[in-house]
Structure 1
Amino acid sequence: MARVLAGPFFCGALLGFLNLSGLAVEVTVPTEPLSRPLGGTAELSCTYSTSVGDNFALEWSFVQPGKPISTSLPILYFTNGHLYPTGSKAERASLLHNPPTGGVATLKLADLHPSDTGTYLCQVNNPPDFYTSGMGLINLTVLVAPSNPLCSQSGSTSVGGSAALRCSSSEGAPKPVYNWVHLGSFPTPPPGSMVQDEVSGQLILTNLSLTSSGTYRCVASNQMGSASCELTLSVTDSSEGRVAGTLIGVLLGVLLLSVAAFCLIRFQKERKKEPKETYRGSDLREDATAPGIFEQASRRAGYSKGLPERSSPASTMATTKSKLSMVV
């Protein structure tokens, strides 16, 4: 039993002795996140307590949002009495107290960019001091006003249909909230027919009517400012379209009938203008053939194709009789 208690007691006493003897490195940073406006200056407070020796070293590094600490990028080093800025922030980074040997290792970052948002690590190393991690974390947010949002729409825009209006800004910190407004003096939409999500910037319109038409404005805002865009929604009535189509068909039919009637009347008038041929019984044509003679001539023509031409007695007699009749 004495051996069991001796272990924890000895370790606690050793830690207490190390702490009292100054072999511990303790780093203190703010617990609350830090916010500064775009283009401004941020002072990231960091203090430490240790017995500064020849091996004292300070390092500031940066971690992008959502990434692990192992991916941190260096900003500056202080070692062997010299300061070494490094990385993309080197020209804008400095120490509030240089050299940082008096217990203050505060980082000063000027001309803040949107890319400066993230986690900053203040790490003090002072061998042979080894107690505690010697590191502190500070979260910095660079405040940026929303950029001009982009408005878009999708869905059916006919009466009774549903449409979705969307609004989004590419920049803005903290993330903007979105608010849609229907411009103009229109009746209040029925409950549930106009639902918006302030986080995603989406406006859902259901059971559309002709009064849903008009201009809609989306306002993106945060604590740094606001920006807006507008969109015009045109709701159409499909029944009016069918009526219009029927009316156009009727008008085309009437037009075709009118053209046909016009052509018919024009044709009738042209026929009336043409001269008509009249036949009078007393008029004789010079090339007319007496009845009976045409038949005999036809028969002779038929026989003449295969036989030598002969004069038949019957036809001679008929001709003689005809001549006698004419003389009498």
Structure 2
Amino acid sequence: MAGLPGLLLCAALLGFVCLGAPGLAVEVKVPVEPLSTPAGKSAELTCSYSTSVGDNFALEWSFVQPGKPVSEAHPILYFTNGHLYPTGSKAKRASLLQNPPTRGVATLKLTDVQPSDTGTYLCQVNNPPDFYTNGLGLINLTVLVPPSSPSCSASGQTSVGGSAALKCSSSQGAPRPVYNWVRLGSSPAPSPGSMMQDEVSGQLILTNLSLTYSGTYRCVATNQMGSASCELTLSVTDPSKGRVAGALIGVLLVVLLLSVAAFCLLRFQKERRKRPKETYGGSDIREDALAPGISGQTSVRADSSKGFLERPPSAGSATTTKSKLPMLV
């Protein structure tokens, strides 16, 4: 009996400590490792807590995009006063694995996940007066997407001795795709030292180009969800051959023009030979004909004995004849 007062004293002290102690600490537990889910599937974001659930218990799930601070998070759903309130753009696809979440489980289920669902999710529990710890857990979710069909392009000086850069890029893909270039066909491949490839940026650098570099190149974008590819045809030109071809074309044009000119000249001469000779009609007047009424003809006679030319008779000595042409009345 002597020990009874001691026990009562201990019980009284314990009760005093319990009555005077503040509320229990809220402890939220979430996975440490990031979560990944293929696009179109469902994701379960596990969240559990330990606290004495009271009338003021409240749970909230929110979301923030990658690279943005937690203060910019947007609510997905919250539970308070015994009711669940989905909200925001994910309201129709978000639910709680256990509803009501009053038994220590606050796991969020998200259906038909999309690439825009990639980001950080916040699970926060409030249970006044249990304010003496951080009741917040963060989960990083990555929605896995196969690479989209990449686009291939080329830039640089694609002539002998120059350098060219082949570029390959996919607009979608999570995790980020890696890129690999291969040359198609059985022709000799360029030397490894003249090809530099970056799997992250998708760029292939070709230096000291020669005609053997011409051909079709394929770029393959790959991640853990799949792969996609594109192709590009590279044509390496030789400027010296272009100059020779230009000179040859110039010579051919000159020869062609000369041939056309010769043909036209021959045709002209042939047509000229076919023309009839000119004849003088009765009404034509010749330059050496005498005027009407003049019957004589001038002449120059040489006098061998005198050694000089005899002057032609003057116009006054010329005889006239009557015109025999009929008179018209």
Q: Does 1:229 align with 2:230?
A: yes
Query: Which amino acid is 2:263 matched to?
Result: F
Contact 2:189 2:213 in 1 (8 A): no
Q: Distance in 2 between matches of 1:45 and 1:294?
A: 144
C-alpha spacing 1:46/1:247, structure 2 compared with 1 (3 Å): same
What is the CA–CA distance in structure 2 between the aligned matches of 1:196 and 1:214, rounded to whole Å?
Answer: 17
Aligned to 1:36: 37
Distance 1:145 1:296, change over 3 A: same
**Equivalent residue of 2:104, what SS?**
coil
Could you tell me how far 1:97 is from its partner in structure 2? Answer: 1.2
2 CA distance for matches of 1:96 and 1:65? Answer: 25
CA contact (8 A) 1:22 1:50 kept: no
Question: Is 1:163 paired with 2:164?
Answer: yes
For 1:32-111, what aligned pairs fall within 5 Å after superposition?
32-111=33-112
Report if the CA contact (8 A) 1:175-1:222 is conserved.
yes
* Structure 1 residue ranges without an equivalent (≥5): 1-15, 278-283, 298-314, 321-328
Distance 1:74 1:276 in 2: 111
Instruction: Please say which of residues 249-258 and 140-149 is displaced more in the overlay.
Output: 249-258
- CA gap 1:266/1:40 in 2 versus in 1, 3 angstroms: closer
* CA displacement at 1:263 relative to structure 2: 3.7
Per-residue CA distance 1:152-211 (angstroms, 9 max, x = gap) = 222222222222221111111001111111110121312332212111111112222212
Higher mean displacement: 265-274 or 217-226 = 265-274
CA-CA distance at 1:243 after TM superposition: 0.9
Contact 1:56 1:127 in 2 (8 A): yes
> Given the superposition, is the C-alpha separation of residues 285 and 157 from structure 1 closer, same or farther in structure 2, using an over 3 Å criterion?
same
CA distance in 1, matches of 2:37, 2:196: 34
Aligned to 2:182: 181
1:25 aligned partner: 26
The change in CA–CA distance for 1:88 and 1:285 in structure 2 (over 3 A counts) is closer
Aligned-residue offset at 1:266: 4.2
Cα distance, 1:119 vs. partner? 0.1
1:214 aligns to what?
215
Q: Say which of 298, 302, 308 aligns to 1:290.
A: 298
1:304 match: none
Mapping of residues 124-143 of structure 1, within 5 Å? 124-143=125-144
Give the distance between the partners of 1:154 and 1:181, measured in 2 at CA: 18
Moved more, 209-218 or 28-37: 209-218
SS at match of 2:101: coil
SS of the residue aligned with 1:242? helix
Give SS of 2:298's match: coil
- Structure 2 CA distance, aligned partners of 1:208 and 1:119? 48
Counterpart-to-counterpart distance in 2, 1:110 and 1:216: 40
Aligned residue for 2:236, secondary structure, equals coil
Q: Is the 8 A contact 1:145 1:173 kept in 2?
A: yes
Corresponding residue for residue 243 of structure 1:
244
Instruction: Give the Cα separation in 2 of the matches to 1:214 and 1:152.
Output: 14
- CA offset at residue 26 of structure 1? 1.2
Distance 1:177 1:290, change over 3 A: same
Higher alpha-carbon deviation: 263-272 or 234-243: 263-272
Instruction: Provide, for residues 301-321 of structure 1, a one-character-per-residue CA deviation record: whole Å limited to 9, x for no partner.
Output: xxxxxxxxxxxxxx6xx679x
Letter in 2 for 1:26: E
Instruction: For residue 220 of structure 2, give the secondary structure of its aligned residue in structure 1.
Output: strand
Q: Secondary structure of 2:192's partner?
A: coil
- Residue deviations 1:233-290 (CA, integer Å, cap 9, x gap): 122211111111111111112222223333444455556666889xxxxxx9555852
Displacement after TM superposition at 1:36 (Å): 0.8
**For each residue in 1:217-243, what CA deviation from the matched residue of structure 2 results, as whole angstroms up to 9, or x when unmatched?**
111110001111111112221111111
Matched AA of 2:234: L
Distance 1:130 1:105, change over 3 A: same
Residue 75 of structure 2 aligns to a residue whose secondary structure is strand
Q: Which structure has greater helix proportion?
A: 1
- Alpha carbon RMSD of aligned pairs, Å? 3.0
> In structure 2, do the counterparts of structure 1 residues 273 and 59 end up closer, same or farther at CA, with 3 Å as the change threshold?
closer
1:17 CA displacement: 8.6
Q: Following the alignment from structure 1 to structure 2, what is the Cα–Cα distance between the partners of residues 117 and 285?
A: 116
Moved more, 102-111 or 268-277: 268-277
User: Which residue of structure 1 lines up, in the alignment, with residue 155 of structure 2?
Assistant: 154
Q: Name the aligned partner's letter for residue 298 of structure 2.
A: A
When normalised by structure 1's length, the TM-score is 0.77
CA distance in 1 between partners of 2:202 and 2:196 (Å)? 11
**Identical positions, percent:** 78
1:48: Cα distance to partner?
1.1
Letter of the 2:27 partner, please give it.
Answer: E
Distance 1:48 1:262, change over 3 A: same
